[in-house]
Amino acid sequence: MTLRPAENHHGAAFEPTGDPMKDGVGAASYAHDRADRCDLTLAGEPKIQPMSVLPDFHVDHNDPDPREMRVMSADDEDMGGCVDIWVDRSEPQIRYYEMELADGRRKLIPFGYARIRKGRMEIRIEALNAHNFADIPEPKAKDRVTLLEEDKLFGYYAGGYRYADPSRNEPLI
């Protein structure tokens, strides 16, 4: 079990025993039984895909293109560059930024966890420190993401706000 009671009484809160971000517990939890299939458009195609495979999608020329930006961790490390933008085809909006780490692996950053800093040409991720990027869950396919994979991604980033830095684990009083 990856959790244990924090106190020795009924109703006690649980605390993680391993790496909660990898284990998907506590603040990093997700629906473990979520369907491992893509959400589909009415036409039966994957709803969320990278712009690199969608010729009808583009960044407006008046907006900064995130694919020209560096990705920075909460502890100010340059983690790599943004290489693609994943969009929701049914409700045209950005869902993920795709970054490439120094070792060539690609990771998705949920839109809501990224802060664009136009003046610095960077995407800042406050939820994760540099050492957390290697373990960001990856989709099995290069051009689609399943509902389960999305849940794991959001759980990992959400858990980062609590577990990525030990100083965040203390109560705020």
Please say whether the beta carbons of 173 and 136 come within 8 A.
Answer: no
Residue 172: the pLDDT is: 60
Please say whether the beta carbons of 64 and 118 come within 8 A.
Answer: yes
Q: What percent of the chain has pLDDT over 90?
A: 75
Pick from 15-19, 28-32, 89-93: least confident: 15-19
Residue 169: the pLDDT is: 74
- Closest by Cα among 96, 76, 92 to 138: 96
Distance CA 12, CA 68 (A): 48
The CATH number given to 35-166 is 3.90.50.10
Cβ-proximal residues to 91 (8 Å cutoff; 6+ apart), any chain: none
Please say whether the beta carbons of 48 and 69 come within 8 A.
Answer: no
Residue 1: the pLDDT is: 58
pTM for the whole thing? 0.91
Q: What is the DSSP string of 34-87?
A: S--SB-B-TTSSBSEEEGGG-TT----TTS--GGG-EEEETTS-EEEEEEEEEE
Residue 113: the pLDDT is: 97
pLDDT at 28 over 70: yes
